Structures are given as C-alpha cells and as structure tokens.
Structure 1
Amino acid sequence: MVASLRPGVMVRSLVENAQRSFWHEWRQLACPTLLVLAQSSFIPAAEVDEMLRQRPATTAMGIPGTGHELHLEQPGILHTVLSGLLEGLV
C-alpha cells in the first residue's frame, strides 16, 4: 500500500505540521510565489494577510467553490492558474 494512503501516516503528518511554524521558511523564499487559496480553507484569513504582508511580491488567488483539496476539486482551474504563472517566468 502507498504510504500516503495509510491513515496513520496522514494523521502523524498533520499533527507534526500543526505543531511546527513555517514562518522562517516563508520569509526565506526568494522566488516568485503564488498563494492559491481555497474558498473553504482551514488557513485563517489573518494568517493569509500576514503571509502577504511579510512577502508583498506574493500573488494570491482564491478559487471559488473549493475546499482544502482544490487540486482534486478544480484541477482545470488550478492548471490554468499555474500555467499562467509559469508562462510569466519564462
């Protein structure tokens, strides 16, 4: 069985990530960044605001009608958004 399909692996990953801050890594990013936000996200709006405040060059885009797994819910929209970002970098 693929490790990512085992519930215990996913639970441990979620617990570890919930207990760790990633702000240091966020501030260290030097590349263009696209913050893709689900309409029903578990990331609080205040945290998104802080991410954009710390890195003003970040582009944020919300995808209506999506939850946490927006890559599964709206793959076509996500593909279009990511393609647009990558085309702008070439």
Structure 2
Amino acid sequence: MGAVAMLLAVGPTRAAVPGCSKTGFTAEGYDTDQQGKALGAAIFAWTKRVAASSLGDRFADWNRAQQKSVDCRKTGIYYTCTISAQPCP
C-alpha cells in the first residue's frame, strides 16, 4: 500500500506574534489506524512539551498557538502526525 500525506499550515504569516514565544515547538503522534487519533496524540504531546518548558501551562494551548504546521502521513494502515507551532498565552 502506498503512502498518503497531508500537510496543513495554518496561522498568520508574520514571523512573530506579540506575546507569543519566539521559539516553536514540535511534537509527534503516531501508531494509530485513525488520522484523528494520531493528530490528537500529537496535540497532546505538544501541549505537554510546552507546559514542561520554561513557558509553562499558560502557553500550552494548541488553540491559541500561531504559525501552526500539521503534517500527517499514512504508511500502510498507520498514521503519523507531526505538528509544530509557536505557543501563545
């Protein structure tokens, strides 16, 4: 079976959003047979990574993040999603 990929970039095109972190964070969710679950796992991992950083919980909300990038790929029956974004308060 071939590979299927989805790339989604969402958010403003400017380099920095006032109040947001200047550093982006990346996380991955994988090994599931449903793309939505892989994406959910990636968002969960991203949130935990940001919360554990010096930025803390206040920045750990994917919905407020800027410069979002989502890349989901299917290999066989499994999906892997890699996401990155700039955390914002």
**Common topology (TM > 0.5):** no
Structure (1 or 2) with the greater strand fraction? 2
Larger-gyration structure (1/2): 1
Higher RCO, 1 vs 2 (CA within 8 Å, ≥6 residues apart): 2
Q: TM-score, normalised by structure 1?
A: 0.29
Q: TM-score, normalised by structure 2?
A: 0.29
Structure (1 or 2) with the greater helix fraction? 1
